[in-house]
Structure 1
Amino acid sequence: MATYERRRYLFMTTDPVHVGTGGYRLGRVDLSIVREPGTRVPKIPGTSLHGAARAYSARIYESPACAGQGTNQEGRSGHCGRDDCPICYTFGYLSRKTDQEDSTVGYSGVVNVFDARVLLFPVYSMAGPVWVSTVDIMQDAGFKVTNVPSNWNVGTALLTWERNDALNLGWLMVEIAGKVLVTASQEWSKDERWKQVQDKIVLVQPALFSQVVNSNLEVRTSVAIDPERGAAEDKALYTYEALPRATFLTCEVVLDDYRDGFPKDDGKNPLQGKKKWEGPLDVLDAGLRMIEWLGVGGMGTRGFGRLAVVGQTISNVWPDEEGQKNEQQHGTS
């Protein structure tokens, strides 16, 4: 396996996703979600994905103490830190030495998980649900966009289907500047979820994208219940926002296997009958795919947080001695 490798994931939210900022604020809602500082476009932080992937892969491996700084087999605080533990090897660990109470040993993890950025945002329109993005965002994610006009106004949009009349994006009305073709990579183009949206894409200018997204986030209202009366408590009403269902996001992960000593399967681990982990990226992949079942972020018990991996991951291995990149494909598990 290559020491350095980059994989790109395409996610789709199957539930609303709320990754909060950690406090209340005055404004549109009480509990807001994390946003990019410059564009104010919502995102899912890499820290949230990393923590969820570690916790879920630890469950798969039947080593819950390795999900966080729990209690190891010797009854001491910290991760197990064993040489044959794929969880600690992949995500790093901090553990006390067995012979010294105040001495700790640790290693950094070998996988880097970056923020998941919004790629296609669902919005209601007169033509039904459409997915809004920008040319730059689509191209940065590896999509090919053709027939883009050299000059088109901020208040206009490009569509992937034929239409002459103006189109509303929520409350905002935009004129049509032309038709474009958006082509996905072969790893993603065969997935049914992509096929459902590829002819319903609206591309707007970056100056308009943030406004469209933030105006169409899902906002819900909750209230605390008085257990004695079974009714709403006075002054306990609060609101929170979330990325809506069917939002597409892209995320990159990078393998930096500086230790080059991933524990090999000795036939005695809890993965018998399951897909074997050949390297750290397999451990991370198993955890990320469990998010489709167990979710990420807050409000998980209220039906929030699930993300599904769309298609296959796109993998680029570090260039070899001749400077040629070795392209690999990794199927779904």
Structure 2
Amino acid sequence: MMKPEKLRYLIMTIDPVHVGTGGYRLGRVDNAIVREPGTNLPKIPGTSLHGAIRSAASMRYGMPESSGQRPQGTPAKNPIVYTFGAGEDGGFSSGVVSIYDARILLFPVASHDGPVWITTAPVLREAGFTGGEAPSQQYSVLLAGTLQGIETGFAVGWLMLNIERQNISLSAPSEGNWQDQPALKEALSRVVIVHESLFSEMVNSGLEVRTSVAIKPETGAAEDKALFAYEAIPRATFLFFDAVIDDYHGGQQVNFPNFEYDGLKPAGPADVLSHGLDLLEYLGVGGMGTRGFGRIAVVGEPISSKNPGGAA
């Protein structure tokens, strides 16, 4: 049996992303997005990523029926069933890939010096980035690259914050090739590290909010009292998430590479995951997909690490 392997992915939103809570609430928006209970920070749930990646991989391999719980074929012959599993109607096969929540790493906001990306030192450390320190004061910031303040501080979003240090240098993890990706390099040169106590408030204030209205098909005019607002994670937000491959099939693994479609020959679950994730640059994740929402792009290659305590 293989040792469990963890793949850490870095993604960037190409469009606003709306993964709703499925209900309404009082406040500035009617349709809210999913948040972490403890930090109140928006996220893309692992359940949403799992379903979107499975659906995209099924399309990529020419077996759209495998996107649901009634796929055709056994795990040895169907890479979608092997990787993601199947429900009762599909023969009760457990998947070998676990996909976890995507959390915000760098969040874009406006400043007097142009667009910047805000983050915190703990988030940078957890994602494997180096060079980031936490501000010593609640209303202080650390500026990366060539960002310049003004006499009274640094105006980011709706706040004027004191500058504690400038010209800090942030580095992506040495593993993988994240540090070579142009989009990430540009963002890291314009990072503002804020205090943890402000991060959630600044992110939630910077979410994209749109309004829509129902249209009467008979007249083409707006329905009365049918205006609603919804929020989304804005484009150019960087998020990271983990996927764990725990392949318990043992000797059956040799049967996996027998599948080939349209030049694609996945060598294992990691390839299925990658092929599906790549297609989300076109198909997207979450709601409002036909209204310009949802697309995400993978930044670089995933960073792989194996559990040293796993079975050989």
TM-score range, shorter chain: over 0.9
Report whether the alignment pairs 1:86 with 2:79: yes
For residues 117 and 164 of structure 1, what CA distance do their matches in structure 2 show? 28
Report whether the alignment pairs 1:199 with 2:186: no
Report whether the alignment pairs 1:142 with 2:128: yes
For the 8 Å contact 1:79–1:95, the answer to whether it is kept is no
Match of 2:144 in 1: 160
For residues 286 and 245 of structure 1, what CA distance do their matches in structure 2 show? 22
Of residues 197, 201, 214, the one that matches 1:211 is: 201
Give the drift of 1:81: 4.4
For the 8 Å contact 1:66–1:88, the answer to whether it is kept is yes
Match of 2:163 in 1: 176
Report whether the alignment pairs 1:52 with 2:55: no
Map of 1:321-332 to 2, 5 A cutoff? none
Of residues 201, 214, 218, the one that matches 1:228 is: 218
For the 8 Å contact 2:2–2:248, the answer to whether it is kept is no
Give the drift of 1:265: 2.9
User: Alignment length, in residue pairs?
Assistant: 302
SS of the counterpart of 1:21?
strand
For residues 31 and 155 of structure 1, what CA distance do their matches in structure 2 show? 31
For residues 249 and 207 of structure 1, what CA distance do their matches in structure 2 show? 20
Contiguous gaps of at least 5 residues in structure 1: 70-77, 97-103, 324-333
For the 8 Å contact 2:65–2:71, the answer to whether it is kept is yes
Query: Where is the helix percentage greater, Structure 1 or Structure 2?
Result: 2
1:267-322 Cα deviation digits (max 9, x unpaired): xx452423x2111111111111111110000000000000000011100122279x
Contiguous gaps of at least 5 residues in structure 2: none
SS of the counterpart of 1:293?
helix
SS of the counterpart of 1:234?
strand
Report whether the alignment pairs 1:68 with 2:58: no
Q: Which amino acid aligns with 1:23?
A: G
Match of 2:99 in 1: 113
For residues 23 and 227 of structure 1, what CA distance do their matches in structure 2 show? 25
- Normalised by the length of structure 1, the TM-score is 0.86
Runs of 4+ aligned residues of structure 1 deviating over 4 Å after TM superposition are none
Match of 1:99 in 2: none
Q: Which amino acid aligns with 1:159?
A: L
For the 8 Å contact 1:57–1:287, the answer to whether it is kept is yes
For the 8 Å contact 2:11–2:297, the answer to whether it is kept is yes
C-alpha change, 1:79 and 1:164, in structure 2 (3 Å) is closer
Match of 1:101 in 2: none
Where relative contact order (Cα < 8 A, 6+ residues apart) is larger, the structure is: 2
Match of 1:129 in 2: 115
For residues 94 and 43 of structure 2, what CA distance do their matches in structure 1 show? 25
1:39-68 Cα deviation digits (max 9, x unpaired): 100000000000001111111111111100
For residues 149 and 223 of structure 2, what CA distance do their matches in structure 1 show? 52
Match of 2:38 in 1: 38
What is the root-mean-square deviation of aligned Cα atoms in Å? 1.9
For residues 258 and 265 of structure 1, what CA distance do their matches in structure 2 show? 16
For residues 138 and 293 of structure 1, what CA distance do their matches in structure 2 show? 28
Match of 1:319 in 2: 308
1:67-115 Cα deviation digits (max 9, x unpaired): 002xxxxxxxx2224131111011011244xxxxxxx831211101000
C-alpha change, 1:246 and 1:221, in structure 2 (3 Å) is same
Q: Which amino acid aligns with 2:30?
A: D
For the 8 Å contact 2:8–2:304, the answer to whether it is kept is yes
Q: Which amino acid aligns with 2:256?
A: K
Q: Which amino acid aligns with 1:119?
A: L
- Normalised by the length of structure 2, the TM-score is 0.92
